[in-house]
Amino acid sequence: MVGKLRESFKRIFKEEADSVYFAPGRVNLIGEHTDYNGGNVFPCALTIGTYGAARKREDGLVRVYSENFPEMGIIEFDIRDIRNRKEHDWANYPKGVIYAFNKAGYQFSHGFEASFMGNIPNGAGLSSSASIEVLTALLLKEIYGLKTEMIDMVKMSKLAENEFIGVNCGIMDQFAIGMGKKDHAILLDTNTLEYRYAPILLKDASIIIANTNKRRGLADSKYNERRSQCEEALRLLQTRLDIIALGELSEEEFLANADLIEDPVIYRRARHAVFENVRTLKAVRALESHDLTEFGRLMYMSHESLRDDYEVTGVELDTLVELASKVPGVIGSRMTGAGFGGCTVSIVQNDGVEGFIDQVGRAYRDRIGHDADFYVVNVGDGAHRIG
């Protein structure tokens, strides 16, 4: 890959790249829609991701190119004039990161050239956008010799997404991509940002991602709506409880104070946030005590809660999970990411993987009318320099 990237860079910019970087995609195993509620998440970094080769320039120009969008050619802008421009399309992600660095007090007078290449399916909910953001942050750190730590790059990448791109996401994706560790998932408390790594002890099972191939149409507006519903629930609970996030509540505390939330929709949204958060801790304990069956059961419960209480699944995701649950060797399955399309994540015994892809694939096509895609994925390290 390093060779391919360097070649691409040379072909486009007619010079040798100084350095090459990689930032993974991520999959969340459990703990969905909890990261903006101060709850726990349990994601891991993948070995698929985004690659970038870069070289510092003497003038103030930034020139970026993506092998994934060759038709857009080289996109060019001045590093001292960072504005979101619709026609710059994907390049608004790296730009957003420069914006976030500027906001943190870093001013750049030299520009750079960078060529990108990614193998994360776009719009599938595996965080291709957070991946290019963290990659850009690392590239800026390295080519300008900055002292910034990975956790700050994670925070700046999130800020880029929130303020520059305009998606009000939590910190899970950027955190998993920056801080991931091979063969480990990260238990992250999004309230305190305390985290620890848990080895993914799957014995003879694998992680399979199934893509519904449904574009996440209204995802952003519905995502923001869920966020405000949770904020509304929190506001109501705060009239009696001294809390700053739903993630602080146990199931019992929540139920004992549920009379404060009259609206049944707001109540269900909050119930998901609280129960999913507790479920995440239970799931990590199950994994650590080698109880994969329990881990799988909690994955199914997570999906049900996202379907019934949080209402972010939809027929494609529900169909994939339902079909998966009928295949021998499947330990657990659930939607992953924001929902409204995107992917499911399943844990499947190795000797059942082929049957899974075949049976779920065929039945999905029959019912939904188009194909799903399947990826047997590996858990890799967070963003790093590769050449």
Active site residue 263: no
79 token code pair: 């590093």
The rounded distance, in Å, linking the Cα atoms of 228 and 236 is: 12
CB of 9 to ligand GLA, least distance (A): 29
CB of 306 to ligand GLA, least distance (A): 9
Residue with tokens 């994994």: 287
How far is Cα of residue 303 from the mean position of the Cα atoms in its chain? 17
Nearest CA among 337, 354, 268, 262 for reference residue 309: 268
Taking the least distance from each CB to ligand GLA, the nearer of 175 and 295 is 175
Nearest CA among 7, 381, 337, 379 for reference residue 170: 337
Taking the least distance from each CB to ligand GLA, the nearer of 39 and 94 is 39
69 token code pair: 């969008």
CB of 67 to ligand GLA, least distance (A): 24
Taking the least distance from each CB to ligand GLA, the nearer of 32 and 189 is 32
Residues that bind ligand GLA (CB under 6 A): 32-33, 35-36, 169-170, 172-173, 337-338
- Residue 225 phi/psi, 5-degree rounding, is -65, -45
Taking the least distance from each CB to ligand GLA, the nearer of 280 and 349 is 280
Residue nearest to ligand GLA (CB): 169
Taking the least distance from each CB to ligand GLA, the nearer of 79 and 153 is 153
- Residue 128's alpha-carbon distances to 3, 61, 161, 362, in angstroms, are 22, 25, 12, 27
CB of 58 to ligand GLA, least distance (A): 37
The rounded distance, in Å, linking the Cα atoms of 242 and 260 is: 14
CB of 94 to ligand GLA, least distance (A): 18
- Residue 189 phi/psi, 5-degree rounding, is -90, 110
Taking the least distance from each CB to ligand GLA, the nearer of 225 and 371 is 225
Q: Which long-range contacts (CB under 8 A, 24 or more apart) does 363-370 make?
A: 363/323, 364/319, 364/320, 364/323, 367/319, 368/212, 368/315, 368/316, 368/319, 370/213
Taking the least distance from each CB to ligand GLA, the nearer of 169 and 187 is 169
CB of 307 to ligand GLA, least distance (A): 14
Residue with tokens 């700053």: 244
The rounded distance, in Å, linking the Cα atoms of 226 and 269 is: 7
Helix (H, G, I), strand (E, B) or coil at 347: strand
Write down the catalytic residue from 173, 259, 351, 373: 173
Q: DSSP string of 69-109?
A: -GGG--EEEETT-----GGGGGGHHHHHHHHHHHHTT---S
CB of 103 to ligand GLA, least distance (A): 20
Nearest CA among 80, 23, 16 for reference residue 54: 16
Q: Which residues are catalytic?
A: 173
